[in-house]
Structure 1
Amino acid sequence: MNKSRIFRALLSAAVVSAVPFIANAQKANWQNLDLKTDSTFGISTEKAYKELLKGKKSTKVIVAVNDGGVENTHEDLKRIMWVNAKEISGNGKDDDKNGYADDIHGWNFIGGPKESVNFETLELTRLVRRDLKRFENTTDATVSAKDKADFEAFKARRADLEKQLGEAKAGLANISGFKNALDAFIKKLGKENPTLAEIKAYKPTAEMDGRIQSILVEQLANVSFKDFYEDQIKEGFDYYTRQAEYNLNVDYDPRSIVGDHPNDPKEKFYGNNDVAGPDAMHGSHVAGIIAADRTNNLGIKGVADNVVIMGVRVTPNGDERDKDVANGIRYAVDNGAKVINMSFGKAYSWDKAVVNEAMKYAASKDVLIVQAAGNENKDIDTENNFPNHKDLDEKTIASWITVGASGPKDDETLKASFSNFGKTQVDVFAPGVQIYSTVPGSKYKNLNGTSMASPVVAGLAGLIRSYYPKLTAAQVKEIIVKSVSKVNHNVSYKKGEEENAESVSVPFSDLCISGGIVNAYEALKLAATYNGKATAK
């Protein structure tokens, strides 16, 4: 997902007054707290366990994390990883005859015989690269009538690519300048991880040092220098480097690593069994939000207490390919997942039809898909964010829920500043700001995004399906949407990505179908009596 807005908020020149993109630190597990009891707009999960679920039995449910990789050895995840009991680990054979050898914890659709794809291009880049071959020597004067529409689309995409590449290069130059100045300042200070007091006590010897000092004093009020440097400076530098060198580079194509036929949507059996891949940060964080071990007194508590995580790797550091997304959905469905979390999205689609068919397949097999709405602060009713259900049948839509991100305070800031929204395309909102969860190395980290909000809802869906296994995917979605905590006040957000964009105030009900934040307590109460068709065991 696009992070450009976050890093543009940090920099507008080589050295400027940085604007914090990390909110004040929230207490761990805030997403599971209760607004009335804890004064924090979580989803009341802990209240539900205490008052509704205590002493009740549940059925184990498989939740697939279709993402960039899950660290199956993490201290807070290893017990809750799905294990394919029909497969014999390490023998190199497809024991269960599902087409995937040694798929013990899931499958990696962007891996090959020797390694896995890490960095990838954006879909926009791939579309421009494809059409460059066709239109490289075409002009407005020479284009044929039958090719004119495609040519116009190509020109628009190429202009978009050039714009984004220019912004990425400028961003890289800006943050490189800031990073170099900061590194020089820290060297003068003589401390690798200085405290706020040490920074305040430093006597600047140059104008640049004074500016750096002022920025750090502002930034380090609630975070250590080490975390500020890693999460903002290094991550920002790495982000713009990835954009310039990989994501927006038409000459970069890593797909040969996989060894498949990338434009053949019917090809299904490729990849490897490395569900972590080269960068399991994002997927591990998502998995922890859903189901981190609630019994081990380590780290964090996931939303669901009796689900297992199936790792399905389909997203690189770049845009996912539609073929991989579709195959990842089908793999999860065919191997028993009842909920699939998809914390990804993109502005362009190569083959929407193949994803649509996979979505229909999931719906036909009673599997609920939960998708992140995206992080561009856009109205996805009117702007593209793929996958989407704008051309799908009602049955499929009934088994697919799209999630925006909310913050912890029940005020005008409730909508996360970055979250996409849409009165017809987004179903619900859920906590997605400063969510503390699992990351590689058996560590934990705060992250922001609709990527974090989606697994809150996927965890809730898994929780409902675990305690009320007779409910269908469509019923679970309906319960989640009907039981939200309604927000009856306005929220503010900037209309656009620029820092000087106009700020608007709108009713929260304009941002999504339900007009509220998901609530586990109310959802489980509703599930217990839903049409008289389900009762807890």
Structure 2
Amino acid sequence: MNKSKIFKALLSVAVVSAVPFIANAQKANWQNLDLRTDSTFGISTEKAYKELLKGKKSTKVIVAVNDGGVEATHEDLKRIMWVNAKEIAGNGKDDDKNGYADDIHGWNFIGGPKESINFETLELTRLVRRDQTRFANTTDANVAEKDKADYEAFKARRADLEKQLAEAKQGLAGISGFKNALDAVVKKIGKENPTLEDFKNFKPSSDIEGRIQGILVQQLEKGSFADFYEDQIKEGYDYYTRQAEYNLNVDYDPRAIVGDNPNDPKEKFYGNNDVAGPDAMHGSHVAGIIAADRTNKLGIMGVADNIAIMGVRCTPNGDERDKDVANGIRYAVDNGAKVINMSFGKAYSWDKAVVNEAMKYAASKDVLIVQAAGNENKDIDKENNFPNHKDLDAKTIASWITVGASGPKDDETLKASFSNFGKTQVDVFAPGVQIYSTVPGSKYKNLNGTSMASPVVAGLAGLIRSYYPKLSAAQVKEIIVKSVTKVNHNVSYKKGDEEDAESVSVPFSDLCISGGIVNAYEALKLAATYGAKTAAK
């Protein structure tokens, strides 16, 4: 998902002061708090545990985290990881005959015999690479009539790629300049982690050093230098480097690492059993939001209390491939997952049909899919974000929830500035701003994104299926959508990602189907009535 908005203001020293300081965190666990009692627009999870679930029995539910990797040894995740009891760890054999040897905690569809993919291209890059070979000798003058539509699509994609690559290179140059200037100032100060007072006492010898001083004095009023440097400078530098060198580079193709035929959508048995992979930051954070151990008095508490997390690695640092997404869904379904969280999405699709078929398969097996809406602040009713359900049957859509991200305050800022929306494509909103959760090394970190909102809802779905196991996936979705806290006021957002973009104010009900924020307390109350009806039949 596109993070460029986070770093947009880092393109030059002159505008860095406009950057919001990400480390200015909300209270940990705010997503589980209650609006009325805590004055924070969480989903009332803690209230539900105290008033509705105390003393009640539940059954363990498997929730698959189809993502970039999960650290199974994390202190807050190791007790709640799914363990394939039919498999003997480390013997190199497929003991349960499911086609995947040693899949103890799940499977990695972007790994090979020796290593795993970390960086990948965007789908846009892959499509341009494919078609530039096909149309190498084609011009507007000689294009065949039968190829005109494809040729026009290729030209539009190539223009999009060139634009994004130019922006990435500009971004890298800008943040590199700021980073170099800041590093020079820090060297003069003589401390690895200067304090606010150190920057106030610094005597600049140039205009650039003066601007650096002013920016850091402003930023360190809100947090530490180490946090600012890690969350803004290093992350921004790494982001633009990945974009320029990997994501948007038509000459880069790491798929040989896997050893499969990436153009064969029917191929299913490839990959390895390393569910963490080379970068488990994103997936571990998602897993913790869903079900981090609520009993160990460490770190954080996930939404759901009786969950087994299955790690299904199918998304790299770049765009996921449709083949891997489809196989990841089928693997999760076939190995017992009742909820699948998919915190990913992309603007282009290579083979939408293969993903659609996997979605239909999940629905036929009574598995609920929860998907992040995306972080580009766009209306996905009008602009594509894949996967989507624009051409799927009602049964499949009934087992699939798309989630936008909300903030902690019940005011015009409730819609997260980055969150995609859509009156027909997004079902609900959930907390996705400054969510504190698990990251590799048994550590914790605040992250923003619909990637964080989606697992809040996946955790809630797992919680409902755990305490009311007879409810179907479609019923669970219906309960979650019907029980939202309705938002009866307008929210503001910018139309576009430029600093001078027009700000508009719209009813929250224009942003999603339900018109509200998910609420665990109300959902569990409603689930009890569904459960009573099911038991009476």
Instruction: Specify the TM-score bucket, using the shorter chain as the normaliser.
Output: over 0.9
SS at match of 1:379: coil
Aligned: 1:514 with 2:505: no
Q: Deviations over 1:85-119 (max 9, x none)?
A: 00000000000000000000000000000000000
Q: How does 1:88-487 map to 2 (within 5 A)?
A: 88-487=88-487
Separation of aligned partners in 1, 2:17 and 2:295? 44
Q: In structure 1, the residue corresponding to 2:128 is in which secondary structure?
A: helix
Query: Residues 318-360 of structure 1, C-alpha deviation per residue, up to 9 Å, x if partnerless?
Result: 0000000000000000000000000000000000000000000
Q: Let me know the Cα RMSD of the aligned residues.
A: 1.2
Structure 1 distance, partners of 2:233, 2:496, is 24
Q: What is the letter of the counterpart of residue 231 of structure 2? A: D
Mapped contact 1:528–1:535 kept (Cα < 8 A)? no
Q: Deviations over 1:20-44 (max 9, x none)?
A: 1527310100000000110000000
SS at match of 2:493: strand
Instruction: Report the CA distance shift for 1:188/1:30 in structure 2 as closer, same or farther (over 3 A).
Output: same
SS at match of 2:17: coil
1:18 is displaced (CA, Å) by 3.7
Q: Deviations over 1:149-206 (max 9, x none)?
A: 0000000000000000000000000000000000001111111111222222223232
Q: Is the 8 A contact 1:14 1:177 kept in 2?
A: no
CA contact (8 A) 1:15 1:174 kept: no
Q: Whole-Å Cα distance in 1 between the matches of residues 534 and 414 of structure 2?
A: 33
User: Which range moves more in the overlay, 12-21 or 295-304?
Assistant: 12-21
Counterpart of 1:17 in 2: which secondary structure? helix
Aligned residues of 1:48 and 1:524 also touching (Cα < 8 A): yes
Identify which range, 192-201 or 154-163, moves more after superposition: 192-201
1:250-270 deviations in whole A, cap 9, x for unaligned?
000000000000000000000
How far does the alpha carbon of each residue in 1:184-239 deviate from its partner, in whole angstroms, 9 at most, with x for none? 01111111111222222223232222110111122222221101100110000000
Equivalent residue letter for 1:215? I
Q: Distance in 1 between matches of 2:433 and 2:9?
A: 16
Structure 2-normalised TM-score? Answer: 0.98
Task: Tell me which amino acid in the other structure corresponds to 1:521.
Answer: Y
Match of 2:63 in 1: 63
Cα distance in 1 for residues equivalent to 2:435 and 2:329? 26
Which amino acid in 1 is paired with 2:276? Answer: A
Residue type at the aligned position of 1:306: N
| Partners of 2:503 and 2:130 in 1: CA distance | 39
2:494 partner letter? K
Match of 1:497 in 2: 497
* Aligned partner of residue 533 in structure 1, secondary structure: helix
Further displaced range: 183-192 or 401-410? 183-192
Contact preservation (8 Å) 2:13, 2:208: no
Alpha-carbon displacement from aligned partner over 1:8-28 (angstroms, at most 9, x marks no partner): 134355764242152731010
1:521 alignment partner, SS class: helix
- Structure 1 segments, 4+ long, off by >3 Å, are 9-16
The answer as to whether partners of 2:427 and 2:514 remain within 8 angstroms in 1 is: yes
Change (3 A) 1:531 1:64: closer
Tell me, in whole angstroms, the C-alpha distance in 1 between the residues paired with 2:337 and 2:426. Answer: 23
CA contact (8 A) 1:125 1:248 kept: yes
1:12-23 maps to which residues of 2 (within 5 A)?
12=12, 16-20=16-20, 22=22
- Which blocks of at least 5 consecutive residues in structure 2 are unaligned? none
Give the aligned residue type for 2:512: C
- Contact 1:81–1:309 (8 Å) recurs in 2: yes
Distance 1:168 1:158, change over 3 A: same
Partner deviation per Cα, 1:130-153 (whole Å, 9 max, x = no partner): 001100110000000000000000
Between the two proteins, the alignment pairs up a number of residues equal to: 536
Identity of aligned residues (%): 90
Structure 1 residue ranges without an equivalent (≥5): none
